[in-house]
Every structure is written in C-alpha cells, then in structure tokens.
Structure 1
Amino acid sequence: MNGYIFLGIAIILEIFSTSMMKASEGFTKMLPSVIFIIGMGISFYSLSQALASIPLGIAYAIWSGVGTALTAVIAVLIWKEQLNLYTVIGIVLIIAGVAILNLKGSGH
C-alpha cells in the first residue's frame, strides 16, 4: 500500500481521536476514552507504516500540520469554538510550512 494512503489514514484517525478526547471530558466518559486510545494507536501504527516509504521529516510535518489545521477547523464546526484572526493565520502558516517542506524538503 502506498505510504501516502497510510499517512491519510493516520491523519483521519488522529483528527477523529482528538475529537474523542474532547468528548471524553477529561477521560471521565468511558466510550470516547476507549475510542480515543484505539484510534490513536491505529493512527500511530499507520504513521509507522507510512514511514517505510516517506521520509520522517516530510511524513511528520504532513501528519502534524494537516492534523492540527483540520482539528482547528473541526473545533469551530463541531465543538463551536471561536474562530478568530489568530486561528486563521495559524492555520495558513501551518499549511504554508507543510507545503514548503514538501517542495524543498530533505526527502526530495
């Protein structure tokens, strides 16, 4: 399987799991807590599989950057957190950083 498919799975599960961490309310709710632990475990496994064909710096930048940016968007859409100028600027900078790493990163 292509490393980027594994990376995509890792990102999706990391985002979903982070929302489950929020839903667990400090790990006081059992089902979201269990889903978080399982989801993050599979996310890290998928990330490790992606590293078989994607350089570490590139894979981690994409995983953490896209995960952070999409989690911020989900926080606004699902969890009704406030969107402000700093959030938007931060998301834009994360996306720009990941794009730059992919264009001129050490793995290319």
Structure 2
Amino acid sequence: MNPYLLLAMAIAAEVVATTALKASAGFSRLGPSLLVVAGYGAAFWLLGLVMHTVPVGVAYAIWSGAGIVLITLLAVVVYRQLPDLPALLGMGLIIAGVVVIQLWSDSGGH
C-alpha cells in the first residue's frame, strides 16, 4: 500500500484520538476513552508501517504538522476553541516547513 496513504490514515487516527481525549474527561467517560486508546493504537501502528519506506524525520514532520492543523480545525468546530493570530501564523509556518521538506529536501522520501 502507498506509504503516504498509510500516513494519511495514521494522521486521521491520531486526530480522532486527540479530539476524543478532551471528551474523555480525564478518562472518566468510557466511550471517548476507548476511542482515545483505539485511535492512538492505530495511529502508532500505521506510523510504524510508514517508517519502513519513508524517512523517520519526514514521516514525523508530516504526521505532527498535519495533526496540529487538523486538530485545531476540529477544536474550532467541536469545542468552539478559536486560535488567535499568533497560533494561526505558527501553523502556517508548520505547513510551509512540511511543504519545503516535501518539495526540495533530499530526505523527502522521493
């Protein structure tokens, strides 16, 4: 399977798990707590598969960068937590960094 598809799946699982972490209320609610454990388990398993072919630094940069942005977007929708301008600028820099790695770095896995 395409490692970048696996990476996208790992990112999705991590985003679901992290979003459910708040809903778990300190692991006092069973449903969200199970989602946290399953989501993180799937995310790390998939990330491990990705690292068979994609360099560790590249895989982790994409995984964490995309996760930060997607979790922030979900927090806006689900929890009504709006990021301020410095947070948005920082996320823009993270996205720019991932793009630079993918397009111009020799360690970009291409």
Q: TM-score if structure 1 supplies the norm length?
A: 0.93
Contact kept? 1:62, 1:98, Cα under 8 Å? yes
Aligned pairs, number: 108
Q: Which runs of 5+ in 2 are unaligned?
A: none
Counterpart for residue 64 of structure 1: 64
Misfit runs of 4+, over 2 Å: 103-106
> Quick one: which amino acid aligns to residue 27 of structure 2?
F
> Quick one: which amino acid aligns to residue 61 of structure 1?
A
Contact kept? 1:58, 1:105, Cα under 8 Å? no
Q: After alignment, is 60-69 or 86-95 more displaced? A: 86-95
Note the alpha carbon deviations across 1:60-102, whole angstroms, 9 max, x for none.
0000000011111111121100232112112101101111122
1:14 matched to 2:38? The reply is: no
Counterpart for residue 104 of structure 2: 104
Q: Within 2, Cα distance between the matches of 1:52 and 1:35?
A: 26
Q: Superposition RMSD on alpha carbons, in Å?
A: 1.2
Q: TM-score if structure 2 supplies the norm length?
A: 0.92
Q: Could you tell me the percent identity over the aligned residues?
A: 38
Note the alpha carbon deviations across 1:37-69, whole angstroms, 9 max, x for none.
011001100001111111111110000000011
Q: Within 2, Cα distance between the matches of 1:40 and 1:106?
A: 30
